[in-house]
Amino acid sequence: MAKLYFYYSSMNAGKSTTLLQADFNYRERGMRTMLWTAALDNRYGEGSITSRIGLKADAHLFDPETDLFEAVMADVATHGALACVLVDEAQFLTKAQVFGLARLADESNIPVLAYGLRTDFQAELFPGSAALLGLADALIEIKAVCHCGRKSTMNLRVDAHGKAVKQGAQTEVGGNDRYDALCRKHFMEALGG
């Protein structure tokens, strides 16, 4: 029986690297995979999953309107069986998309590995992450490290001067220039709380 997995962490934990390694493992054994990433994250070019250590792979793009279940099943009908579906930036999935991914595992026996942030810069769950935390068969935390050496669990948004940003839209794509992965203690201190 296939499962829906949610690999989550703060930023800079190696989620994309881990996804690309899992994809490589399947493909090295001659198995076909399908990669997806959020259309709104085009920092490294459209249709690409890129890790900060230099690994890269082409991926299909999803936006809130994408029916992932139907798109994957159409691909299977055209190209044959899939060994695995891998989703990067899973925090940007909608609740309906997460239900579609669960259907892939349950009805089509295709394992789904979703990788994403658990919370935003205000310590709020992303909609996709909330749905995955509720529906996934397996929850796997990928560890990142705060500057103090503790496990980082929070994503601090910073401005151009490195100062904490306390308000704004939930989604603002960025990397180390806009976010700092911190432990809860240093996150709270940075926010003045």
d(CA 181, CA 63): 26
Residues whose CB is less than 8 angstroms from the CB of residue 172 and which lie 6 or more positions away in sequence, other chains included: 121, 157, 178
Contact yes or no for 85/37 (Cβ under 8 A): no
Distances in Å between the alpha carbon of 123 and those of 41, 126, 169, 185, 188? 20, 9, 13, 13, 10
154 phi and psi angles, rounded to 5 deg: -120, 155
Q: CA 10 to CA 58: how far, in whole Å?
A: 23
- In the DSSP assignment, the letter for residue 81 is -
* Dihedral sign from CA coordinates of 6, 39, 124, 183: positive
> 172 catalytic, yes or no?
no
Q: Which residue is catalytic, options 46, 70, 89, 189?
A: 89
Q: Which residue in the block uniquely carries the two structure tokens 């989620």?
A: 15
* Residue matched to tokens 């490589």: 24
User: Does residue 150 sit in helix, strand or coil?
Assistant: coil
Which residues are part of the catalytic machinery? 89
